[in-house]
Amino acid sequence: MALQKTLSLLLLLLLTLLGLGLVQPSYGQFMYQRFLRQHVDFPATGGTNLYCNTMMQRRGMTRPTCKQFNTFIHEDNSTIDAICITPNIRCKNGKMNCHAGVVNVTDCRDTGRTRPPNCSYQGSASTRLVVIACNGNPPLPVHLDR
């Protein structure tokens, strides 16, 4: 009985803290952190095949399979976040929460010649338009659409 009462009080405390905004394991923040891990490398540390092989493995995109394609954006977080306040455009999935901006990138493409976790990538550095899906208030990048 005492254990049940203690658990009930702990649950009530957690719900109160969530309601007050003091504890926020928000899905949007999780997606933003995932976006940063998968797509942001600032300052740029390369743009070569070796760069892609190293970064894809370091960022966890070579297990359980080799990720076929990934783009690393070589801009600071505030520059990338600012893309989210540009006019909305349609995403590939049809939603209207995408935004476009021109940034420095390295595109990494799997060569298909190796197996995980030792995936082999071809790197290509450029300055190009990217389309980013943004969510939240304030809006933050959560998905690299193209």
Q: Is 137 left (phi over 0), alpha (psi -120 to 50) or beta?
A: beta
Task: Please pick, among 39, 67, 74, 99, the residue that the annotation labels catalytic.
Answer: 39
pLDDT for 46 equals 78
Q: Is 39 among the catalytic positions? A: yes
pLDDT digits (tens, 9 = 90+) for 11-32: 444 444 444 444 455 888 999 9
pLDDT digits (tens, 9 = 90+) for 83-105: 999 999 999 999 999 999 999 99
Any idea which residue has 């891990």 for tokens? 37
pLDDT for 26 equals 82
pLDDT digits (tens, 9 = 90+) for 31-69: 999 999 999 999 988 789 999 999 999 999 999 999 999
pLDDT for 5 equals 54
Q: Partners of 81 in the beta sheet? A: none
Confidence of residue 1 (pLDDT cuts 50, 70, 90): low
Q: How far apart are CA 24 and CA 139, in angstroms?
A: 16
Q: Is 99 among the catalytic positions? A: no
pLDDT for 115 equals 94
Q: Partners of 69 in the beta sheet? A: 109
Query: What domains lie within the chain, and their CATH numbers?
Result: 27-144 (3.10.130.10)
Task: Please pick, among 67, 74, 99, 143, the residue that the annotation labels catalytic.
Answer: 143
Confidence of residue 146 (pLDDT cuts 50, 70, 90): very high
Strand order in the sheet with 69-73: 69-73, 98-110, 121-135, 140-144
Tokens of 12: 């009530």
Angle at 128 between CA 130 and CA 69, to 5 degrees: 65
